[in-house]
Structure 1
Amino acid sequence: MSHLALLLFVVALGVWIYALFDVVGSDAGAVRLLPKPAWAVVVLLLPKIGAILWFALGRPRRAPSAAPAGPPPPFPEYDHPHRARAATPEEDEEFLRRCRERADAQRRRAREAQEAAGGEEAGRGDGDGGEGRDGDGDPRPS
């Protein structure tokens, strides 16, 4: 029985603290029925009843989220509110063209580096160098 009483006390304390923070963090113009400082006093002085009254009568109504009317966009990661956008379609095309050029240049450099590395390995295997290995890296018969 004492565990149930303790659990109810902890739940009531959590609801009271949440209500108190909700009163303090809410917009003063959107609070209903009483001014925000009055709600803070009610919730502070009447912990259980004040919290219930706050949630039932004083808490600002949350505006329903405005869901898009049509199908989801093909690239939803582009739809966040603070994303930088091109002012004109020409600027967007210019950006994409520069991205393609950079990617092509990176591929070309990687291909050249790979070819150069392949040429150096073949060049090392041609000379004797005292290692006792043939061009393939296998030991030479004596």
Structure 2
Amino acid sequence: MLRVLPYIIVLALWLYGMVDCALSDRRGVRGGLSKTVWFLITVLPAVGTALWFLFGRPRSSTPPPPAGTQRGRRPVAPDDDPDFLRGL
């Protein structure tokens, strides 16, 4: 089993890299190459996927909000909405 484990890991990362490349936004792809070229590069199992994750994968455009802050969120239910309750 230990002999097969590296092959399974490379296969899983390769498939994840190809799916990630296919589903990423074409405007956010880095590296100066088009998304199609990056997808063709990721066809190379280990090297292509590593290049995608290091140089081509889009970076997150907005950082996640700090924990505990709810800036910009609206209440879900009408009875949780202060504006709705004021109008009753």
Shorter-chain TM-score tier:
0.7 to 0.9
User: Displacement of 1:92 after TM fit?
Assistant: 1.6
Q: Which has the higher helix share?
A: 1
Q: Deviations over 1:107-129 (max 9, x none)?
A: xxxxxxxxxxxxxxxxxxxxxxx
Letter of the aligned partner of 1:27 in structure 2? D
What is the TM-score with the length of structure 1 in the denominator?
0.49
Letter of the aligned partner of 1:40 in structure 2? F
Question: After the TM superposition, which parts of structure 1 deviate over 3 Å for at least 4 consecutive aligned residues?
Answer: 79-82
Q: Tell me the percent identity.
A: 30
Q: Deviations over 1:60-81 (max 9, x none)?
A: 012321327xxx47xx7xx755
Instruction: State the superposition RMSD in angstroms.
Output: 2.6
User: Displacement of 1:53 after TM fit?
Assistant: 0.4
- Distance in 2 (CA, whole Å) between partners of 1:52 and 1:8 is 15
Greater Rg, structure 1 or structure 2? 1
Name the structure 1 match of 2:11.
Answer: 13
What is the TM-score with the length of structure 2 in the denominator?
0.76
- Cα distance change, pair 83–20 in 1 and its aligned pair in 2 (3 A): same
Residues 1:60 and 2:58 are matched in the alignment: yes
Aligned residues: 82
Runs (5+) with no aligned partner, structure 1: 95-142
Runs (5+) with no aligned partner, structure 2: none
